[in-house]
Amino acid sequence: MSEPLPAGVDEGPAEGPGEGTGEGPCLAAIRSRDMVIAQDLDADDRWTSWSQRVRGAGVHGVLSVPLDIDERVIGGLTLYAAQPQTFTPDVQLTTLLVAEHAGPLLAAVLDRGRLAGLAAELADALSSGEAVNRAIGIVMAQRGCGAEDALDVLRQASTRLRVPLTEVADRLVTAIASRSG
């Protein structure tokens, strides 16, 4: 059964009085890229200020494993125990397996976010490309020139006005549409 994390267990950098110590088993697991276990914090002399604070919050054992995505450690999975000697070999193995599976799941979530961003960028680029193509057609009709010459005209306008080509194209298409509407 899981319970809320006791106050004062955070290992992160201090943001105020009594917050974070910059030491602890999770940070040690991240740094070493290996499982870190303290079966009995009363008998463990690592992370003295952190251990003292968490023992006061009722934590007497801790197990931390790093979480990897593509060979990069991105965080840690930490279990806290209210009693010493809680982390049996089965619990240790299960924690390692959970961490091994969590990494690829987190990577998939991050990839999904990246793919959504790429899809939005692609849609934006396609709509911008559509405006550029329309603007090329307008310049071709107005000047009686080919597509490459029309694109050169738009590029020159973009350079002179110091605005992106897509903005020049959008302005031209909008101006023509407002005249014919």
Backbone angles phi, psi at 137, to 5 degrees: -60, -40
Given the DSSP bridges, would you call strands 36-38 and 72-81 parallel, antiparallel or unpaired?
unpaired
Q: What is the value of pTM for the model shown?
A: 0.57
* Res 83: pLDDT: 95
User: Of 176, 156, 162, 166, nearest to 130 (Cα)?
Assistant: 166
Tokens standing for 97? 């397996």
Give 66-93 pLDDT, tens digit per residue.
998 877 888 899 999 999 999 999 999 9
Give 123-166 pLDDT, tens digit per residue.
766 666 788 888 989 999 999 999 889 888 999 999 999 998 88
Q: Would the pLDDT of 8 be above 70? A: no
Q: State the pLDDT confidence band at 54, using cuts at 50, 70 and 90.
A: very high
* Res 20: pLDDT: 58
Q: In terms of residues, how long is the chain?
A: 181
Contact 51, 62 (CB under 8 A): no
Q: Would the pLDDT of 40 be above 70? A: yes
Please give the average per-residue pLDDT across 99-111, as a whole number. 85
* Res 14: pLDDT: 38
Please give the average per-residue pLDDT across 26-45, as a whole number. 94
* Arithmetic mean of pLDDT over the chain: 84
Residues 6+ apart with CB under 8 A from 22: 11, 12, 13, 14
Q: What is the spatial distance between Cα 49 and Cα 27, in angstroms, rounded to a whole number?
A: 14
* Res 114: pLDDT: 80
Q: Would the pLDDT of 122 be above 80? A: no
* Res 6: pLDDT: 61
Q: Would the pLDDT of 19 be above 90? A: no
